[in-house]
Amino acid sequence: MNAVLAAAPPEDLAAAPELPDILPPAKPRRGLAGFVRRHPAIAAGGTLVLVMLLIAVLAPYLGRVDPTAIAPGRRTRPPSAQFWFGSDMLGRDIYSRIVYGARVSLIVGFSVALLASFAGLVIGIVSGFVRWADPIVMRVMDGLMSIPPILLAVALMALTRGSVGNVILAITIAEVPRVSRLVRAVVLSLREQPYVDAAVAAGTRTPMIMLRHILPNTLSPLTVQATYICASAMIIEAILSFIGAGIPPTIPSWGNIMAEGRALWQVKPYIVFFPAIFLSLTVLAVNLLGDGLRDALDPRMAKEI
């Protein structure tokens, strides 16, 4: 048998003709150019986020004057060489205020994304593993989810003074239920995987299973979710500040600048529009990053949410 298989093909069998090169061989592009080509959303979003981060970090060098310096003699100047984005009704330089405002938006966005992901991860994993806790935890999360997030954050802010920390906490509480639900759904599907059964059969203890087998698999959908939470947190922060229930007016934030420009917006629209452009661009960048990460990391998981 083996001898037959090993025998050389009969010599009279015509060799296949050389095929013309219809398709050029795929040459995966390497380096930065290749990455940009494969993941345009991540590249574009990531670059914009980086630019905003740089603006926030370098604010003291980019700002032209003290963003809180009041100059009654130069109120509501239109954009000019001296005031790039104009000045507000207290004579403060809007450009400098926007540069510093980037700090607030990014700190709030990133902190909420981190805190909500962490809290949601813990709640979701516990709820997915501890059977008696699951119905209780999920009813509480359902209850919190049935309060619209902005309203929940607004109600929480009514309890405390406006400060950056309180804003972060209020938005985090409003975002946690969604993350816990996502993590729990992932955990429940992972629990049915053969490798978890194998770990159980091998006598691995539950905390170890959670840490070694479940946790790493929740990270990619969670990363995607965290970027969306970051974007949503920045919008909610701006809304809270805009309606006067967020960052205290002494700290320049994009929402605050818009809130201050509100009374004058029909005659001096630039006070509202410059911070609006920065806010929209930053949120757009983070959302693009999220979409790109979703497609790159795990297209199946993220689409369900």
Binding another protein by CB under 8 A: which of 29, 37, 139, 212?
Answer: 139
Q: In whole angstroms, what is the distance from residue 304 CA to residue 296 CA?
A: 15
Binding another protein by CB under 8 A: which of 243, 264, 296, 305?
Answer: 243
CA 39-275-265 angle, 5° bins: 140
Q: In whole angstroms, what is the distance from residue 181 CA to residue 305 CA?
A: 10
> Using the rule CB under 8 A, is 231 a contact of another protein?
yes
Binding another protein by CB under 8 A: which of 154, 168, 179, 183?
Answer: 154
φ, ψ for residue 87 (rounded to 5)?
-130, 155
Q: Tell me the closest approach of the beta carbon of residue 118 to another protein, in angstroms.
A: 22
> Using the rule CB under 8 A, is 182 a contact of another protein?
no
Binding another protein by CB under 8 A: which of 89, 107, 119, 140?
Answer: 140
> Using the rule CB under 8 A, is 157 a contact of another protein?
yes
Q: Tell me the closest approach of the beta carbon of residue 139 to another protein, in angstroms.
A: 5
| Closer residue to another protein in complex, CB, 27/300 | 300
- Residues 125 and 180: beta-carbon distance below 8 Å: no
Query: In 10 A of CB 15, how many CB atoms?
Result: 6
| Closer residue to another protein in complex, CB, 36/150 | 150
What three-state secondary structure class fits 93? Answer: strand
> Using the rule CB under 8 A, is 265 a contact of another protein?
yes
Cα–Cα distances (Å) from 180 to 118, 123, 191, 299, in that order, read: 9, 6, 16, 20
| Closer residue to another protein in complex, CB, 168/279 | 279
* CB contact set of 155 (below 8 Å; sequence gap of 6+): 147
Q: Tell me the closest approach of the beta carbon of residue 237 to another protein, in angstroms.
A: 10
Binding another protein by CB under 8 A: which of 51, 89, 119, 150?
Answer: 150
Tokens of 186: 């992932």
Q: Tell me the closest approach of the beta carbon of residue 192 to another protein, in angstroms.
A: 24
Task: Give me the half-sphere count of Cα atoms (radius 13 Å) on the Cβ side of residue 13.
Answer: 4
- Residues 115 and 107: beta-carbon distance below 8 Å: no
Contact positions vs another protein (CB under 8 A): 139-140, 142-144, 146-152, 154-155, 157-160, 231, 235, 238-239, 242-245, 258, 262, 265-266, 269, 272-273, 276, 279-280, 283-284, 287-288, 291, 303
